[in-house]
Structure 1
Amino acid sequence: MTTLDKRQRVANPTYEPQPYSVTGYPTFRSFYPYYLGEHAHPVCLVGTTISLSVFVRALLAVLPLLSPAKQFAALRFGTQGWKSVGKLLLGGLLQGYVWAWIGHFFFERNKPATFKHPFYSLLGDLTLWKEVATLKRRP
C-alpha cells in the first residue's frame, strides 16, 4: 500500500476545519475529524513530541531506582530519586500544554479542544503523532 493510499483512508486528510458539534462527541471517532481541522499547522506536533520525549526520559530515569545494580547509574536524573522523576513528569506535562497553547493561539488561531474534551484531545494528540510518525498522514 502506498503512502497516498494510506492518507486516503484517514479521517479529514486535508485538515479542513469542521464545525463544532452542538450535541457533543459521543466517540473519539466522531471527534477526530473536528480535532484534525483544529490542527492544520505542522507546528502542532511540537508539544506532543517534546512531552513524549520527556516521558521517555522519565521512564529511563526510573531504571536506576528499580535496580540495585550500578549498570543503569548513567540514566539517573537528579539527586532526589522519585521526587526528581516526578518533577520530570510534571515538566513533560507542562511542556505539552504550553507548546500546544502557543500553537493554537499564535499559529492555528483557535481555542484548544482540551478545555471541552480533555481525554479526546490527548487521544487526538497521540493518534495524530502516531499517524505522522508511521507516514499515514502528512504533518
Structure 2
Amino acid sequence: MSSFASFREFYPFYLGEHRDRTCRRMHFAGSSLVLAVIVVALATGNAWWLLLAPVAGYGFAWIGHFVFEKNRPATFTHPLYSLMGDWVMYWQILRGRIKL
C-alpha cells in the first residue's frame, strides 16, 4: 500500500475500498453503535461502556471488509486516516452523498 501525503489524497483510496454496499452498511451500523455507546456512557456516567466502542466500530467494519468486500481494512496500514475516513463516509451517507 502506498503512502499518502494527506487525508485528501487518502480518501479516494478509502472510498475505493468500500465499493460493496453491504460493507458500507456494516460500517454505518458500527459507527452508529459507537455513537450509541458514547450516549449511554454519558447518560449513565459509567465510562466502562466506552470499552464497547472499538468493539462495535471495528467489529462491524472488519466483518464488512473480510466477509463482503473481501479486502484488508486500511486500519492496519493507515489507522488515523482510516478512522477519519470512517466518520467522513458516515457523514456523507447521512447527507445522502454516498448510497447506503
TM-score band, normalised by shorter chain: 0.7 to 0.9
The structural deviation recorded for 1:95 is 1.2
Q: Which consecutive residues of structure 2, in runs of 5 or more, have no partner in the other structure?
A: none
> What is the count of residue pairs matched by the alignment?
96
Inter-partner Cα distance in structure 2 for 1:123 and 1:60: 25
- Quote the residue 1:37 is aligned against: 16
**SS of corresponding position for 1:136:** coil
Residue 110 of structure 1 pairs with residue 89 of structure 2:
no
The structural deviation recorded for 1:87 is 2.1
| TM-score after normalising by structure 1 | 0.63
- Quote the residue 1:10 is aligned against: none
The structural deviation recorded for 1:115 is 0.7
Letter in 2 for 1:40: R
The structural deviation recorded for 1:86 is 2.7
- Percent identity of paired positions between Structure 1 and Structure 2: 42
Q: Which consecutive residues of structure 1, in runs of 5 or more, have no partner in the other structure?
A: 1-19, 63-84
The structural deviation recorded for 1:122 is 0.7
Residue 131 of structure 1 pairs with residue 92 of structure 2:
yes
Which has the larger helix fraction?
A: 2
Greater RCO structure (CA 8 Å; 6+ sep):
2
**SS of corresponding position for 1:120:** helix
Q: Aligned Cα RMSD in Å?
A: 1.4
| TM-score after normalising by structure 2 | 0.85
Q: Which runs of 4+ in 1 moved over 6 A?
A: none
Which one has a bigger Cα radius of gyration?
Answer: 1
